[in-house]
Structure 1
């Protein structure tokens, strides 16, 4: 069974955590939150998209190579890892002290993507691999966001149970909750 924790317990745990996974749907704010946590607690920031999955020009790295890189990254002592691929939860969860699940509504995620495209269209954003310029979202990507809660959230829960039953999980369901957490840990600036 997933070990959910409340906001105040998570804020306390964050001060003692060396390895934090931040997961959730695209556009929910994982990257921004992860970078603020990394800065506040002096942890290495690792982006699955930038450091593991994508090669220049939006070419996807081979799955085994991705797993090899993840295995190496999680061996480090202190990190925040931003990325949602459940195919590597078996490698990440056993090394994780705390999971933060950014579980925004589909509309909040779509607004997040719209803002990201507005700010970064045609540019490579900081959490993306070199040569991967921000595109307009295609139908497949929009469908992924629209159906995330129904199709992917249950996979997250199964993997939390299977690979990290003792790892505490904080669920943040709104931007207001994210802001509240950042305020609690003194990282809202």
Structure 2
């Protein structure tokens, strides 16, 4: 496994898991949020964003975390494994709110400089609707662009811990 894509709801633990997987497997870590956002939460334009993702996905090895459903067609065909953090929405909402409090005075490593942690009603709605709207899009993307791609679907914190333990001891 040289290219591992980690996706899931905000607050599901994608960035934390990606950091740990990259460390354990000694692979480069790519946080898509660091590449998409500019200071002040200014998004990349569509054309340059797709070009950036195509370049990142073409690299020989990585652990990449992030959703960005509009670029699944660029990322999934390059991946050797998809790790889908599919934890309960209530847990994800709790973690998003806890993260906002924890990073109220400092930036997060998975975000670019000038993008302080924030939570608004639109973001909370996105987290709440993720299982109904974004989960099907991700799974449809796998069937469409990478039907042979192995998928590890982690639904509980215990499953995350067990999968990480197995990763360390094949």
Which residue of structure 2 aligns with residue 12 of structure 1? none
TM superposition shift of 1:134: 0.9
Task: Give the alignment of 1:75-90 within 5 angstroms.
Answer: 75-90=58-73
Query: Is the aligned partner of 1:46 residue 2:35?
Result: no
Taking the aligned partners of 1:95 and 1:156, their CA distance within structure 2 comes to 15
Which residue of structure 1 aligns with residue 124 of structure 2? 142
Taking the aligned partners of 2:98 and 2:26, their CA distance within structure 1 comes to 28
- Report which structure shows greater RCO (CA 8 Å, sep ≥6): 1
| 1:122-143 CA distance string (max 9 Å, x none) | 42100001110112x1110000
Query: Is the aligned partner of 1:23 residue 2:23?
Result: no
Secondary structure at 2:29 match in 1: strand
Structure 1 residue runs without a partner (length 5+):
1-16
Taking the aligned partners of 2:162 and 2:91, their CA distance within structure 1 comes to 17
- Of the three residues 99, 103, 109, the one matched with 1:126 is 109
Secondary structure at 1:185 match in 2: helix
Poorly superposed stretches of 4+, deviation over 4 Å: none
Task: Give the alignment of 1:32-71 within 5 angstroms.
Answer: 32-51=16-35, 53-71=36-54
Query: Is the aligned partner of 1:172 residue 2:164?
Result: no
Number of residues paired by the alignment?
169
RMSD: 1.1
Secondary structure at 1:147 match in 2: helix
